[in-house]
Amino acid sequence: MTKHMATDVLIVGGGLSGLATAITAKEQDPKLDVTIVEKYTSGYSGKANRGAGIMLILGDHSPEEFAQFYLKHIGMYLNNQNALLKYAKMLNSNADAIEKWSGKIDKDENGRFRTLKWASKIVGRGEDGRPIFDQNVPYPWTLAAVDLDYIREVRKYARRLGVKFIDRVGVVDLLTDRGAVAGVVGYDIDNGAQTVFGAKAVVLACGNQCWRIMPMWSPARGEGVAAAFRAGAKFANCEYGSFYNWTNLDHFESDMGVEYALYNDKGENVGIKHIKEVHPDINAESLAEWYKQTIAGNGPLHYRQNENPLMPYLTSVLASQAVHNRPYADRFWGYLFFNAFSQQTTDHVVPGLVGEFGGLWVDENMATTVPGLFAAGDICVHGSRAWGATAQPGRHRGSGIAFATFSGRVAGPSAATYAAGAQSLALSDDQIAAIDARVTAPLKSGGSLVPMEMVAEIQKVMQPLGNSLYRHEDRMKKALARVEELKALLPQLKASDPHQMFGVNECEATLLCAEMFFKASLERKESLGWFLREDYPEPSKDGLEWIIVENKDGKVSVGKERVPLETYPYQP
């Protein structure tokens, strides 16, 4: 039995970016009906409440100072500088917004945000025993800290404004009318019932694609990416969606700063040579070194944690009251660290694919190329081109919460303005029937595969460093061929309940993302920033170009666009 609902602004995803979108849309135009549809439970879902809880702000630095540093050291000028500057200018007010919505940012006795610059060194102890940091590091930003139960409070704030919530309904596709977005189709994750939503504007804030490999990133399965592609949206920078974190195969918790203390099996430090004078965070070269050493027979590689100069900083910030007062975060990290380190047996370290593939193209108002369709959060980090030639988190930790808040605060007013001037469009019965046939097919399938078996096969293609980070044409073509084989197996997937029905939709989305990733990667014939090619080790001499992915008659089509450097304030 299909349920029909209508709203003015419909937001897919009730994590931080979706909530920021809803709040700012409602604040701009309280008359509008604003609804969040969340696959799980808004306030708990998403990734922004399961990370470090650190939030990048400018502090006393200027947006221009931040942008220039970022372009030179991280983005390699492959940025939309207008988007980067807009992001930079809103960094401080993002923290004010989070504090207003949740009251959960840690403050000192004078009520000011307690901030700590990334990678500061402990140089002494105060009378209260707390560490004193030398914050004289060369990075033009600082970090505020938020307790990890803040998103529940943000949800309550949104509800008080009149935002409506529909939990446990997963959106699987967009409905369009003559190319403009008209609504969405979702299914209840418990009973499988279909709901069709009409909406004047839709905002995709449902996360990116993390390939379902590293634990914390598990919910990001790319269904929003796939829905946007099917609706005809444009993508950019898809080849940068392969962030790796150092991890230990005993427990899969992330390690930071391993490159300072990365040893091969001969006892040689092989990471330190990749740390340049300015090293804001892990770089692709040190990860590639792991690959080269292993191929050369010098593995396994070891992480001598006691030599990592970041450890005093990290242990002071996470799961510790040495700097911040965050009782919920302390408990969260305490659990994770206890579980992980009580079961760690070796110092062997490997790169674990996090991914963060979010190439949905948006302009500086967070509008996609589909009229009426906007985006916020991880799904459009790369597509916004604000960060340039880097993988999310962009070599500046604390940027996940910052970008989610920023993009939501831009997308909300943009979508509200659009919806206020738009008419409800027709919902196509044919489209709804086709979506239903596609999504529910696994329930009727006589196939032999279950989704988790397919997940395991996709992982084998995506995780290898030689495929997804230190790339080569031969390896990528083989990987792409395997992706095509797996796509051909999709009709054999079966589902016995709504959970598995969603699992099949996620697998289909993940394979589409993999195809976009490898096709875009093959097109970039150079090494630039986070993007490394063994067969093209230098930056291209043809100038800076964005790799664009589009839907041409249902197929993944790849092209290029020149970065309009001459229109931007800063030049290489």
Binding stretches for other proteins (CB under 8 A): 39-41, 43-46, 50, 167, 189-190, 212-213, 215-216, 218-219, 249-252, 291, 294-295, 328, 331-332, 335-336, 339, 343, 350-352, 452, 455-456, 459-460, 463-466, 499, 502
Assess contact for 218 and 356: CB atoms under 8 A: no
Q: Which is nearer to other proteins, 240 or 333 (CB)?
A: 333
Shortest distance, CB of residue 473 to other proteins, whole angstroms? 17
Distance in Å, CB of 160 to other proteins, minimum:
19
Kindly state the smallest distance separating residue 255's Cβ from other proteins, in Å.
15
Residue 149 or 239 with smaller CB distance to other proteins: 149
CB of 250 to other proteins, least distance (A): 6
Q: How far is the CB of 219 from other proteins (least distance, A)?
A: 5
Beta bridge partners of residue 380, listed in sequence order: none
Question: At 89, which helix (H) or strand (E)?
Answer: helix 81-89
- The Cα diameter of the chain in Å comes to 71
Secondary structure class of 267 (helix, strand, coil): coil
Compute the C-alpha angle 116/47/301, nearest 5°.
Answer: 75
Closer Cβ to other proteins, 51 or 358, answer by number? 51
Question: What letter represents residue 525's amino acid?
Answer: K
- Amino acid making up residue 301: L
Residue 395: Cβ within 10 Å count: 23
Q: Which is nearer to other proteins, 135 or 459 (CB)?
A: 459
Give me Rg for the CA atoms of the chain. 23
Any alpha helices (H) in 90-177, and if so which ranges? 91-102, 150-161
Quote the CA–CA distance of 19 and 101 in Å, as a whole number.
10
The token duo for 77 is: 């000028």
Q: Which residues of 44-71 are buried (b: 16+ CB within 10 A; e: fewer)?
A: bbbbbbbbbbbbbbbbebebeebbbbbb
Q: In 3D, which of 160, 70, 60 has the Cα closest to residue 529?
A: 70
C-beta closer to other proteins: residue 13 or 408:
13
Instruction: Compute the least distance from the CB of residue 280 to other proteins, in Å.
Output: 26
Report, in Å, the least distance between residue 486 CB and other proteins: 14
Nearer to other proteins, 198 or 352 (CB): 352
Nearer Cβ to other proteins (43/408):
43
